[in-house]
Copies of this chain bind each other. A is one copy, B any other.
Amino acid sequence: MSERFQVLAKDGLARAGALATAHGPVETPVFMPVGTQATVKSLSSADLEALGARIILANTYHLAMRPGHELIRGLGGLHGFMAWPGAILTDSGGFQVFSHSGRRAIDEDGVTFQSHVDGSPQRLTPESAMAIQAALGSDIAMAFDECPPSDADPGALAKAMERTTRWARRCLTTLAAPGQLRFGIVQGGTSLPMREAHLAEMAGLPFDGLALGGLSVGEPPEVMHEVVAHVAPRMPADRPRYLMGVGRPQDLLAGIAAGIDMFDCVMPTRNARNGHLFVPAGHLNIANTRYRSDPEPIDSACPCEACRRYSRAYLAHLFRAKEILYYRLATLHNLQYYLNFVRGARQAILDGRFADYAAERRALGEGGE
């Protein structure tokens, strides 16, 4: 396992590493833009290349429902389908099935649910979730886990944890795509003892990396930070550590400080579409009237196309007019911000000044509207 992942430098608990995937190396820590339906919303794969993205996330559940994983397999897998030469991580579909589907029924074998596209009955099991990911041909496949609701009582949490372990073993018995890595998911809610217990189980399985699931699902950020600070340093040091679905820039700093290597979140892309643009001093809301005639770019130091070429005034106009171009420019900017933010953290770790970097960014980030 460890020959695929190397820790190149440590600075406190923070790590700078490199993960070899079937579609090239990924420098860590890394932020993965979310491409739910085989496109990072509003962006082309050329746009992602221009941003310097090396790995993106795609959603197994959405793609299995539409257009279907066998169709994608026939078109060269996700890489061929979306013409993306970089790495792709697919989630297992579990999170969507557990949180987004209306009616669903869980049994020991798997989950029965309704398609969000056409309402048809569907079923996912550990084996089928991995088979779908093999058909998609992702570089990293996630194990199919049971995601308990954020308000689950300790008994339900423990049951979900135990089932996740049994399902993880079943995931490992399936055929992977060529070169495909597999990550297990550590559950346990916000209980530190349960997290430790589940980590001990999962660390013993031959996954290529481990993820923390079931966080950033409604608990206060400080609680999430506490869990990450406690659990991340206890995760196997020779394998990548992935904090799923997190988060705000300050959450990334907290995760990196605790030794997390990988992140994904819809925040930069979703917020962009809502007018929330990240800047070093926090963020700006492009809907604010003050930007209507502002000739400055979003961030004069940002190298993205939106900042190189357009004013806040133009973006404010496009936003008000609901022009499609707004969504692309805003998404380009927010992803550039996130990618550069994490690249900056990586360089700081390599330079042995991560604490200073984090302090500077936290101090700056107190601004915003």
Contact = CB atoms under 8 A, between A and B. Distances in A.
Contact of A67 (B39, B310, B320): B320
A293 to B, nearest CB: 5
A83 interface: yes
A328 B83 contact: no
A39 B313 contact: no
Nearest to A314: B81
Taking each of A43, A292, A317, A323, which has the highest tally of chain B beta carbons within 10 Å of its own beta carbon? A317
Contacts of A313: 67, 71, 75, 81
A216 interface: no
Interface string A318-335: 101101110111000000
A44 B305 CA distance: 10
Given A38-B317, A67-B317, A83 B309 contact: yes
Given A38-B317, A83-B310, A324 B323 contact: no
Nearest to A273: B324
Contact of A325 (B42, B292, B311): B42
A223 interface: no
A24 interface: no
Contacts of A292: 67, 71
A302 interface: no
How many residues of A sit at the interface, in one of the four size bands?
A: 35 or more
Assembly stoichiometry (copies):
2
A46 interface: yes
A104 interface: no
Contacts of A42: 324-325, 328
A169 interface: no
A347 interface: no
A43 B329 CA distance: 10
Nearest to A84: B309
Contacts of A45: 309
Contacts of A323: 37, 39, 41
B81 A311 contact: yes
B309 A46 contact: yes
Contact of A37 (B66, B293, B316, B317): B317
A325 B46 CA distance: 12
Taking each of A38, A46, A66, A292, which has the highest tally of chain B beta carbons within 10 Å of its own beta carbon? A38
A193 interface: no
Contacts of A318: 37, 39
Contacts of A37: 317-318, 321, 323
Contacts of A43: 325
A295 interface: yes
16 contacts: A37-B317, A37-B323, A38-B317, A39-B318, A41-B324, A41-B325, A42-B328, A43-B325, A44-B329, A46-B309, A67-B292, A67-B320, A71-B292, A81-B313, A324-B328, A328-B328
Interface of A: 37-39, 41-46, 66-67, 71, 74-75, 81-83, 292-293, 295, 305, 309-311, 313-314, 316-318, 320-321, 323-325, 327-329
